[in-house]
Structure 1
């Protein structure tokens, strides 16, 4: 089990897939979404679901973790998250089937009752700001390393290489993927350091995956 984790706390549509691809090229075992204990244990860098919701619990389980926060200008993030949530809405809200328990819990925790406030830009702004502030406060409170970057900044490749590159100097290319409404780039990535999110397509039960020793801190 890898106990020193890099937890990507950026919300969906902030560049999590791009960072995960860069991490693979830096020699880092990476999971973009993790729905089993094996995936959580094997990966050094974890992003997207459940990390953006459960980073506090993951730090409790892996206290040597450091945080990598992805920001994005709100005016660019807003139409992107709305497209994603439009596509996901039926499966998120389904009482029978739809997404696995972890996906539903994470999205509905960070975007509570989003279907009732979908057309309110203020709702999405509040969700974005609240999440960012909570990450900052948690890192400060627990004295955790925190790197905050945007996917478009000029020096992101060198910053990522220094922060997650396992001692590698220099820079790494950070591809721009999942542009527009596309969200499946990670699915088509083939790399020996890629950690599968599920076990033969199956996720652990959420009640098992997130019971103790995950702590609500």
Structure 2
């Protein structure tokens, strides 16, 4: 890690540019995990993006009180269409019992999208409410008021906005030798495998094993149904 003294957590929802941000952080000299499901992954990585950061940021803030948190915003219409595409592929694997995805990932998606409790996780109105609710919770947690959207630990950016790369580097106080002009574009359209296909020596695996094997942190967040979601279990 070059000139960075703290962890970085990217807490934007999936399909807001988390893969593009991960690749940008690699270019800036960070060791990056796109998703982190073990304590060892968090220990090895300078920056962790995507799940479980977008749901667990309050707990990660307690564990790493000096960390920097980056929230990714995106045009809501574009995000909804992209999220519908992603969930259409992921839903069978997010099932609480039979889904093959990691339990931490399933918990994160349940917390933010109610995938097993809403009638239709792909419903446009539901997803719009998920996005707005997550954003509201982030703003409230980091005490973001009156459009003052940044402080020394929190930054909101849009990876489609060219000037935001400069804002990111200033926020991170990134080494000028690693300066990059724009965010890379990854996972465009129906592509969801950009991170897996990208090769870089500073990539950190999401399920790294260490002295505690593949144990996650001890905190156990309660996943409550989203306020507008019927608690009837949706059969995926």
Any residues of structure 2 matched to 1:29-178 within 5 Å, and which? 29-93=31-95, 95-113=97-115, 116-118=119-121, 120-140=123-143, 145-168=153-176, 170-178=179-187
Higher helix share: 1
Change (3 A) 1:193 1:32: same
| Helix, strand or coil at the partner of 1:135 | helix
**CA deviation after TM superposition for structure 1 residue 171, in Å:** 4.1
| Helix, strand or coil at the partner of 2:37 | coil
Larger radius of gyration: 2
Structure 1 contact 91–99 (Cα < 8 Å) conserved: yes
Q: For structure 2, which runs of at least 5 residues remain unmatched after alignment?
A: 145-150, 223-236
Q: 1: distance between equivalents of 2:208 and 2:29?
A: 23
Structure 2 contact 152–171 (Cα < 8 Å) conserved: no
Q: 2: distance between equivalents of 1:110 and 1:57?
A: 15
| Helix, strand or coil at the partner of 1:148 | strand
| Helix, strand or coil at the partner of 2:126 | helix
| Helix, strand or coil at the partner of 2:142 | helix
Q: What count of residue pairs does the alignment treat as equivalent?
A: 208
Structure 1 contact 161–172 (Cα < 8 Å) conserved: no
**CA deviation after TM superposition for structure 1 residue 94, in Å:** 5.4
**Deviation digits for residues 109-128 of structure 1, max 9, x if unmatched?**
11114651335322111110
Two-structure CA RMSD over aligned residues (Å): 2.4
